[in-house]
Structure 1
């Protein structure tokens, strides 16, 4: 019988038991470092104008601060003394505890923050000192910004937003040496977690051609058409702008009037068809509707001159025409989601000008039509950003999905940037197999002309709400929307704020208007199937005449999904029951099975 002898001073010739693992990790780090350098070499020439606000913004913020301080120097002294006093008192208390031989932090009066959930943030003197000093800094910065005077509401919102970005970026959790979770994991795995984290970092930079964008979901866990986007149907029409999908009926009878959904072309349509359990598309079909959905083309540089006119003529009007031809109906019901809802409103206004009554009712999901207050996204709508985007798209012919993805991520930076980066790059964790986050990372490009028309004419100039938006040779207004309308907005939506959505719908010319306020945000509030019984909603039978807060105060809160309430509204506007329709007809043969070909294309790949 033999016994392995451990290495150590008494047996110096035998290597440590984990030396092979250590050497292997070192070799992997060297290999990954070479890949990292190679990946970074593919990064394009940086465009500072789309990376951060211009110098004028920071100069204006600094000037406003110092002007306030010069007018009221006592306020400056009060702010600084308060900050210095807290920071110094905390330092003295920490030193006093150590001098007495107590390895414990001083009293911690800081607010709870889920970033600091590890018990070491409260019990370990080093980590607790870092946390408290960071939170003192946060409080001082927020106080200084809150007390700024002589700035416009938009300027204040921008200063607050970008100050928060700096605050979030500098959190001690974002750095290895000051993150106890990451350090503990590194010790537990003998550094393996850091090697895996480096692998994840290199993978993301390679994937985005030298740019860093955190992968939020396991890219190998889902395949569109296999385990997401699987509702049965066929592409029955295709042009350069879109594929038109008609879904197989699941009921013997269907409503006479077909339903056509226009999803946003900033992302892909299968957000409404993730898994069968939370698929709005499947649910609508199961309610007895002939359902059509548009799947937009993911544009490349050849689409540079495609504008809003093209989306309306070759997207909306073409789809409406083909749905009518396939079903033999003179009128259809339409749905628009986000930017597709905005463009549906433009289309309806245009159709009224042309005397076209093809749409019987319209439903809007999280849609802005009045951009007087665009919410958080408004911080990116000043000329310092938009001018940079204009130069970017003029060079490339399209707005790369990378910029859109990153911009929306910064609206929830802790959830969509720093939190996932910590887990992936410092903890070495594999991204989760989460269908919603997978879809979130599967973005699309925007044609150059369309992107600038949307940003300049709709977002910045707000021309549709002011009555002079030019589309397809007509000047249209928000008041030209006269069909019966149902609008669903989401209470915590950071992309299309519900109050702004309400304000736009209130200005529609339609007499028949229903507004539903769903709980949760831009996606979760819409993709909320009845079986989950997760989020509720608000309804108000009164007219949309007062302001949004008065509407909500008088509204009734109901538990569960808003889907059945919408279905009841839609049913009254969908005609009698008729035999179910199979996809297409002799003039519209099946071109490919759903989800089609456009949804899986990756331009430039």
Structure 2
């Protein structure tokens, strides 16, 4: 009923805000003045030609609820401006107060925004000009279609029945369709080796470690935007980890299991299949965090198998992990641990609600209006099918991850221990290629940028247009794409993120070719194509890609 959120933290935040505001008469006066100023601006906007006047309030850049031209006409413009005026006042009211904890200030602002979003005029058919126009045009058919959509979605939510992929988006045929073989399997992951597409390949293979919070094929979507397919076409031997979708029987899988029997086991398999060669390791999202831990541990232990380390939208420091931190404190983690103890894992719908709430304007309310009041079907897409293909996380591993990394930030603080000994990110000497995305609300780019602060080796940093997924799945030819890139030599002085941003001019296009050239420059040259698997070493091909774990529901 709580949606997986502890009520204690939010109650405490409101109490902190109210108590500090009650003993700040100056701040109370400022809020009264702000309210008066907003009323005057609202009156000026109403007396003008709608919501386009200089005194009008503007929606946030990611808020698309008021884009219909009807919102510029009276009385809709007045309703829209009234809502935005109240939103502006609450944003100001929830600025940090002297003596108030920053986390509580952020939480009160977040909760105020969530409450306001429920009463936005765009949510009500009789206040939304787009709904009124569509209802008139279709004679109310949009509302009956919307009711049918709501009923269907309600049943799916209650029953949690896995829905098959729509026609044209079948996994293994249309999606995740790059040819290959599963060459290793244990209870945690399957290892896919992709079939070569060139007569020769770079001597050093690539191992990709995706996040276990999602199915791997975000990196192998349709053939035209598959990162795997692109790399294989550029003459690389590519391996991919496909994590299992854990059940209650795997509740005790730990973070160390994912490192040792996951990433290290995959490295052992790749080393056996392509012997005597170093490996380009790539980590995406949580997979990048795990790769950083593994690489630092390998450096500490003298394991020199990594030719390079590439991190995509991956954080190693969680002090500025964005609005996800709003959901994490001791109370919230304990609440999640109790919930996971009962069911054995954290289910994807519980995580999806958290991610959607962060951008509720667009990911919740705009979609609800379009589907339930405009009666429009969601057009299937490859990334949409992947996004709805839910996964789980085992209870113990997720608890360790939340406490050690998110809550206590041990990795960048030098307090993260592996096998009883602390590791240090500065020990990583393999060259690094780090990618962040401009509008990422899961791994904010300034947080990802901190990789430059906590490592000392040779490093290239890329900031690309897009969000957490769209910025990574940014194939050549994708319209209106750009990126910024810079090289930092080993032991160079640190530059802050904002100064770095000002110094780098954007380049048009995809960052993929830049990365492929970077990988090739750190390889030893082209050579013969290795065989599929290594049966003599115990890594015989088991089944064709995409394997079996990707179909687990």
TM over 0.5: yes
Structure 1 123/81 Cα, relative in aligned 2: closer, same or farther at 3 Å?
closer
- How far, CA to CA, are the matches of 2:295 and 2:482 in structure 1? 30
Indicate whether 1:59 and 2:15 are aligned.
Answer: yes
Structure 1 221/472 Cα, relative in aligned 2: closer, same or farther at 3 Å?
farther
Structure 1 316/76 Cα, relative in aligned 2: closer, same or farther at 3 Å?
closer
Matches within 5 A, 1:306-345: 306-345=253-292
Matches within 5 A, 1:13-162: 46=2, 49-50=5-6, 53-68=9-24, 70-83=25-38, 109-113=55-59, 114-125=64-75, 127-146=76-95, 148-162=97-111
Match of residue 546 from structure 1: 495
Match of residue 5 from structure 1: none
Match of residue 579 from structure 1: 528
Structure 1 77/211 Cα, relative in aligned 2: closer, same or farther at 3 Å?
farther
- How far, CA to CA, are the matches of 1:237 and 1:475 in structure 2? 30
Q: Post-superposition shift, 1:46?
A: 4.4
Q: Which moved more, 1:340-349 or 1:219-228?
A: 219-228
For each residue in 1:330-357, what CA deviation from the matched residue of structure 2 results, as whole angstroms up to 9, or x when unmatched? 4211000111100101111222233222
Matches within 5 A, 1:92-491: 109-113=55-59, 114-125=64-75, 127-146=76-95, 148-209=97-158, 219-220=166-167, 222-491=169-438
Q: Which moved more, 1:270-279 or 1:289-298?
A: 270-279
Indicate whether 1:594 and 2:545 are aligned.
Answer: yes
Q: Post-superposition shift, 1:445?
A: 0.7
Q: Post-superposition shift, 1:535?
A: 1.7
For each residue in 1:24-44, what CA deviation from the matched residue of structure 2 results, as whole angstroms up to 9, or x when unmatched? xxxxxxxxxxxxxxxxxxxxx
Match of residue 526 from structure 1: 472
Unpaired runs of at least 5, structure 1 = 1-44, 95-103
TM-score, length-normalised on structure 2? 0.91
Indicate whether 1:535 and 2:478 are aligned.
Answer: no
Q: Which moved more, 1:400-409 or 1:538-547?
A: 538-547
Between the two proteins, the alignment pairs up a number of residues equal to: 543
- How far, CA to CA, are the matches of 2:329 and 2:117 in structure 1? 22
| Structure 2 SS opposite 1:487 | strand
TM-score, length-normalised on structure 1? 0.83
Q: Contact 2:21–2:28 at 8 Å: present in 1 too? A: no
Structure 1 79/197 Cα, relative in aligned 2: closer, same or farther at 3 Å?
same
Structure 1 506/497 Cα, relative in aligned 2: closer, same or farther at 3 Å?
same
Q: Which has the larger radius of gyration?
A: 1
Structure 1 122/539 Cα, relative in aligned 2: closer, same or farther at 3 Å?
closer
| Structure 1 SS opposite 2:148 | helix
Structure 1 372/118 Cα, relative in aligned 2: closer, same or farther at 3 Å?
closer
- How far, CA to CA, are the matches of 1:415 and 1:488 in structure 2? 25
- How far, CA to CA, are the matches of 2:440 and 2:123 in structure 1? 26
Q: Post-superposition shift, 1:558?
A: 2.0
Q: Contact 1:205–1:211 at 8 Å: present in 2 too? A: no
Q: Contact 2:244–2:550 at 8 Å: present in 1 too? A: yes
Structure 1 330/154 Cα, relative in aligned 2: closer, same or farther at 3 Å?
same
| Structure 2 SS opposite 1:54 | helix
